[in-house]
Amino acid sequence: DQQVKQNSPSLSVQEGRISILNCDYTNSMFDYFLWYKKYPAEGPTFLISISSIKDKNEDGRFTVFLNKSAKHLSLHIVPSQPGDSAVYFCAASYYGNNRLAFGKGNQVVVIP
> Which residues contact other proteins (rule: CB under 8 A)?
2, 4, 9, 32, 34, 36, 41-46, 49, 89, 91, 93, 98-100, 102-105
Q: What are phi and psi of 30, to 5 degrees?
A: -60, 130
> At closest approach, how far in Å is the CB of 5 from other proteins?
9
> At closest approach, how far in Å is the CB of 4 from other proteins?
7
> At closest approach, how far in Å is the CB of 17 from other proteins?
25
Specify the residue, 13 or 92, whose C-beta has the smaller distance to other proteins. Answer: 92
- The CA R_g of the chain, rounded to the nearest whole Å, is 13
For residues 27 and 44, what is the distance between their CA atoms, to the nearest angstrom? 23
Specify the residue, 63 or 106, whose C-beta has the smaller distance to other proteins. Answer: 106
Q: Are strands 32-38 and 86-94 parallel, antiparallel or unpaired?
A: antiparallel
Specify the residue, 49 or 74, whose C-beta has the smaller distance to other proteins. Answer: 49
> Which residue in 38, 33, 54, 32 sits closest to 107, CA to CA?
38
